Structure 1
C-alpha cells in the first residue's frame, strides 16, 4: 500500500503534480491543465498567457518556448510517479504485495495528478518523436522496468506462474493507462477501487495454482 509520504511527494501540485509554490509553478499548473484538455499541439503559448492573465512576453520570461514548458511538466510528473511507486514497492514484503503496491500507488497518483498524467501520457505516445516524448521515454522505461522486476521476482519465488514478465507487465499497465480515457472523477469508483478490482482478476491468473490435495 502506498505511504502517505510517497503520495504527498508525488502530488505537490494538487491536481497537476507540479510545484505551485511560486509564479512559475502557477504557470506550470495552468499549462498542465490546458495540455491535458487540448493536447500539446492544440495549446498555444497565447492560450496559457491568457489563462494566466499575463502577456506572452511575461510568459517568455519564465519559459523560452512551449516545448520547454511541456518538458518540465512531463519531467516533474513522471519523476514524482517513479519516486512514489519505488518507495511503495520498497516497503512491501512479498512479490504479490509489491505488484499491488506498484499498481495501487499508480492509481492514487493518477487520481491526484490527473492533468499531469494525461499530459505526460500524450507526450509518451506522440508519434512525431518530439522533444517532450524523448524526455518521457527514459523515465517511463524505468517505471515499467520496476513492475517487470516485481513480476520476475514472483516467478523466481514460485508465487507467480512462469509467464513472460514484459507481457504480464504490459497487461497490468494497460489497466492504468486506459483510466484517463474512460474514468470519470464523478463516477461511483475511485481509480484505486477500479485497480483493486482489476488486480483481483489479473493476479488470480498470475498466481501459481495451488496443487490439488
Structure 2
C-alpha cells in the first residue's frame, strides 16, 4: 500500500521562508546580489538594519541562508522522487528530471538566484554550495551510468549527457512563465522526452 506521502515531491505550496530571507530573495531576484543593499532588504522585511543584523549579520549570510534552504529542499525532493521510482533506470530518470523541472518552475525565484549568484558566494561557503550541486549531479550521473550498464541507455559519454540534462532542467527557471502557453505538466512531458532522447533510451 502506498504511503500517504507518496508523490509529495510533486506538490508545492507557497514559499515559507523566514521574513528576512524572503525579502533578500525578492531583492536579489530583482536587482542582483551586488545591486542590493542591506538597507533595501531591511526595508522590504519591515525591519531596522540593526534588527536585520540580529538575525543575519551580513548580506552574505542572507545569501548563504537562502541557498541552504533552496538546495536542501531541491535535494530532498529529488531523493524522494528517486526512492519512489523503482529499480528501472528509465523510471528513475523520468522521476528525477520531473522533480528538477517542477522545482525550477515552482521555486523559480529561488532557483534563479541560486543559479545566477554562484559568482557572489564567498570562499568560506563555496565548498558547501558546490557539495550541494555535486550531490544533485551525481544523482543524475548515477542513473545514466546504471542505464548504460543495463543496456537501456546508449549514451557514449554519460557524464557529459548528465550535465546537459541538468543544465536543461535548471534553465527552466530563466524562462518559465506561469501564464505562458505551456502548462507545467506539458513542460515536464516535453523535457522528459528530451532527456530520454539525450541518454539514447531504448524502449
State whether TM-score is above 0.5.
yes
Stretch deviating more after TM superposition (188-197 or 151-160): 188-197
CA contact under 8 A between 2:98 and 2:192: conserved in structure 1?
no
CA contact under 8 A between 1:151 and 1:165: conserved in structure 2?
yes
Displacement, 1:121? 0.9
Q: Name 1:161's counterpart in structure 2.
A: 154
Give the alignment partner of residue 179 of structure 2, picking from 178, 182, 186. 186
1:73 aligns with 2:76: no
1:52 aligns with 2:45: yes
- Distance in 2 (CA, whole Å) between partners of 1:208 and 1:5 is 27
Q: Unpaired runs of 5+ in structure 2?
A: none
CA contact under 8 A between 1:179 and 1:191: conserved in structure 2?
no
1:144 aligns with 2:137: yes
- Check 1:3–1:81 CA distance in 2 against 1; reply closer, same or farther (3 A cut): farther
Displacement, 1:177? 2.1
- Check 1:159–1:137 CA distance in 2 against 1; reply closer, same or farther (3 A cut): same
Q: When the two structures are aligned, how many residues end up with a matched partner?
A: 198
What secondary structure is seen at the aligned counterpart in 2 of 1:178? helix
Give the alignment partner of residue 82 of structure 1, picking from 61, 70, 75. 75
Q: Name 1:172's counterpart in structure 2.
A: 165
Give the alignment partner of residue 197 of structure 2, picking from 170, 191, 204. 204
- TM-score, normalization: structure 2? 0.87
RMSD: 2.3
- Check 1:159–1:209 CA distance in 2 against 1; reply closer, same or farther (3 A cut): closer
- Distance in 2 (CA, whole Å) between partners of 1:115 and 1:162 is 32
- Check 1:87–1:40 CA distance in 2 against 1; reply closer, same or farther (3 A cut): same
1:135 aligns with 2:104: no
Alignment of 1:6-17 (within 5 A): 6-7=9-10, 14-15=14-15
1:5 aligns with 2:8: yes
- Distance in 1 (CA, whole Å) between partners of 2:125 and 2:63 is 7
- Distance in 2 (CA, whole Å) between partners of 1:47 and 1:3 is 41
- Check 1:77–1:7 CA distance in 2 against 1; reply closer, same or farther (3 A cut): farther
- Check 1:167–1:79 CA distance in 2 against 1; reply closer, same or farther (3 A cut): same
- TM-score, normalization: structure 1? 0.83
CA contact under 8 A between 1:71 and 1:135: conserved in structure 2?
no
CA contact under 8 A between 1:176 and 1:195: conserved in structure 2?
no
CA contact under 8 A between 2:70 and 2:114: conserved in structure 1?
yes
What secondary structure is seen at the aligned counterpart in 2 of 1:173? helix
Give the alignment partner of residue 113 of structure 1, picking from 103, 107, 112. 107
